[in-house]
Structure formats: C-alpha cells, structure tokens
Amino acid sequence: MFDGALFDEYKNFTFKFPEPQYLGAKANLLPWIARFLPDSVETALDAFAGSQSVSYYFKQLGYKTITNDFLSFNNQIGKALIENKGEKLDENDLEILFADAPNKSDFTLMDDIFTGIFFQKEDAVFIDNFRANIQRLSNPYKQAMAFAVMNRSLTRKITMGHFGHTQALVYANDPERVKRNRSLIRPVKELFLELLPKYNDAVFDNGMDNVSYRENILDLLPTLDHVDLVYFDPPYCDSHADYQGFYHLLETYTEYWRDKTFVNGIKRYEPQRYSGFDKKRDIVDSFKKLFELSDSIPNWVISYNNRSYPTIDTMVELIKPFRNVRVEHKTYQQSRGGKGSVAGSSEILLICTK
C-alpha cells in the first residue's frame, strides 16, 4: 500500500541545492551531519549559515528554518532559497537585468576598482549595469535570486573561486589553465544564464514561514524563542580562510559600498565587519557568550575542526557548564582548501544535549 505520509516526509528532497563553490561549505558533509540531528525538531536555527547548504537541508526536512549570516551576500542566498517560497527569475526579469540601466552612470564601482585585477573591462561594466538593474525587479525575492546567481557566477569566473589572490587575469591568459577550466574566459552573462535554471529549480515552499537574517549571531539570539535546534558552524579560527578577505568582492558588490577604503593588491575593503569569531583575542569570550545566549535552545550541533583555535578540549570545557557534549570525528581523505581541511585533518561535530 502507498504510504502517503512517508512520501510527504521526503517530497522536498526532489529539490536540489545548487552546488556551492565556497570554502568550508558543508554540502558534502550533510549525510554525516544528518546522523546526529535530534528527533522531533520543529524549528531550527543555522547561526553561521555561509553557503546556506545546511539551512536548505533543514528546509527539506520540513523544519521552520531560521538562517543567519552576518555577510550580506550570504544573506541574499538565504532570502533566495530559504525564505523565498516561490519567486523565480523569468524572461521579463532577464530583460530588465540585461537592459541598459537608466542610472548606469551611477554604478561604476566594479569597473573603477576591479578592472585589471579580477575582470576585463567588458565584464566589469556588465556586472555594474546588472547591479544597477537589480533594484528595478518587482520584489525582494527576485532581487535576492539575482544577487545569489550573479555572485555564484563571479566565483565561477575567478580561478580558485575566491578573491584572495591577484592571479585571476594571469590564469585567464594561460592556455593550459583555460583548457582545464573554460569558465576563466567565458563572459559573466553566459555563466549567469547557465547557472540560473539550477537556482530557479531549487525554489520550493516547505509550508513554513522561514526567514533569513543578516545579524551578528550574538545580537540575534536574544530576539529568538521556541527554537528546538541550533547548528553552529563558526569560522574555524586559525585554520580556515578569512571569509571577508576571500569573498570581499561579493560583499562589496552586494552592498555596493562607496565609503570604504579598498586596500592590498586584492582591493579588499576596510574596515571589515566585526564578528568576534575570527580573531584569537576575541574568540573564547565570544564562545562563552554564544553558549550563554543559547541556553534556552535544547539541542546544539557544532561543526568544528581539530586544527582550530581554541582546541577541542577547550571547546568541551566551555560547553560543559551548559550541556552534555560528545565529540564525533570525520577525517579528510583529500584536501579541500585551508589548512583545516587538508588530508589527515578532522572535521569535528560537538553534539550537545541537556
């Protein structure tokens, strides 16, 4: 006999999260993380959402999903794929996005700063014009989709998928590298059109009023209630990339800053946003405050790394006043970027229960 309830439980898994290109993304670790999620969850918080792959999984499970990341470009992915219930970009929207913007003379930031570093002038002018037109779309979910797909297109365009180096145009002029990755020389518009169907097809309604925030998690937690599960995937201090440094261009593009200082050969912005979780001087106190503010949430799952600061033993001691904690390990067999995910290092899950 057909079990309709069983089908309902898994129907959202017919939708597929668009493959991220993001250092530290947990998309490949989801089957392992899922083994340690508690039963009977109704509302889940993804506190440091990044690429949004874990939030998307929570949404597929039917949870009311609260996703948060303090960087704007990640928040836009959350609005497009977690909070959004049905809005997609159609042909009319593309006509708007690709048209000459009425105010395009006010949108020259990418050309002014990043031509000759990451882009040839033609691509930089195109993405400036596209950015000017995003605000002409009819609602915030279409706008978020435009941001999400364009920002993914930009990481696809740039060698290594991040902006912490000055080799983008050098590699784009290397025939051997182009032979291995033709995206280096393809127009950004072409990459956008190739990626868009994957994002449109990923939009679904799980029947819940999900929400995407852009807050420092220490400010957001006191405003939330009735959360059953929180997933913490903080920056792995001293073992993973500086996300604001590596993805500075995406944040600059999304915010379209005109009042920042752009420094270093990569033109990253200064001052950076304060998180409290990426500097050794701040992080222990930030974790103490994080755990105090989360005490009303019964279940915590924390992603960590055996090469991060503070040590696993210190993390366990910080958690013990609030929760029972058990430590699970998964060893990387291949390098995935950053010294925290080189072959032989371990991804850690801290499973915390009352």
Strand order of the β-sheet with 43-46 is 211-213, 64-68, 43-46, 229-232, 299-305, 346-353, 324-331
Q: What is the pLDDT of residue 5?
A: 45
pTM of the shown model: 0.94
| 21 closest CA partner among 118, 191, 180, 151 | 151
What distance separates the 2 farthest-apart alpha carbons in the chain? 65
Q: Measure the CA–CA gap between 229 and 350, rounded to whole angstroms.
A: 13
pLDDT digits (tens, 9 = 90+) for 219-228: 999 999 999 9
Q: What is the pLDDT of residue 331?
A: 86
pLDDT digits (tens, 9 = 90+) for 243-289: 999 999 999 999 999 999 999 999 999 999 999 999 999 999 999 99
Q: Is the pLDDT of residue 3 over 80?
A: no
**Band of pLDDT at residue 136, cut at 50, 70 and 90:** very high
Please report, for residues 63, 64, 68, 182, 221, the alpha-carbon distance to residue 41 in angstroms, rounded to integers and kept in the order given.
Answer: 7, 9, 18, 44, 18
Domain boundaries, the chain: 87-202
pLDDT digits (tens, 9 = 90+) for 8-41: 667 899 999 999 999 888 999 999 999 999 999 9
Q: What is the pLDDT of residue 335?
A: 47
The strand pairing partners of 302, in sequence order, are 232, 350
- Torsion of Cα atoms, 250 then 251 then 254 then 258, to 10°: -120
Q: Measure the CA–CA gap between 172 and 168, rounded to whole angstroms.
A: 6
Q: What is the pLDDT of residue 4?
A: 46
Q: Measure the CA–CA gap between 196 and 276, rounded to whole angstroms.
A: 35
Nearby residues of 39 by Cβ (< 8 Å), 6 or more positions away: none
Structure tokens at 72: 């704007």
